[in-house]
Structure 1
């Protein structure tokens, strides 16, 4: 399975927390990133990378 890296942001002045996940494709990676945002109020947005290239960016409720 491909590996995706989530950059989870807690604000503009804080370095993002990185988390590597395995997913079957970008659709599953997007679902996992959405769940990460929903399960924690700590993060404002998440960027999803594969092989160093940003594939998508998700924001919580328009914040970020």
Structure 2
């Protein structure tokens, strides 16, 4: 199974938490990242990475992508 890296963010001034996750494919990794956001209110968004390439960024419903 491929290994994915989740960069979990709690605002712009705090370094992200990094977690390694194994998933069957990109869709499963995305689903796991969505669950990670839902299960912890500490994080505002997550970046999903595989092989040093960012695949997606997911934000909480109350947090939109930043334009800066």
C-alpha separation in 2, matches of 1:23 and 1:62: 27
1:2-25 deviations in Å (ceiling 9; x for gaps): 000000000000010000000000
Q: How many residues align?
A: 64
Cross-structure match for 1:41: 41
C-alpha separation in 1, matches of 2:62 and 2:29: 20
Q: What TM-score results when the alignment is normalised by the length of structure 1?
A: 0.96
Structure 1 runs (4+) greater than 2 angstroms displaced: none
SS of the counterpart of 2:5?
strand
Name stretches of at least 5 consecutive residues in structure 1 with no aligned partner.
none
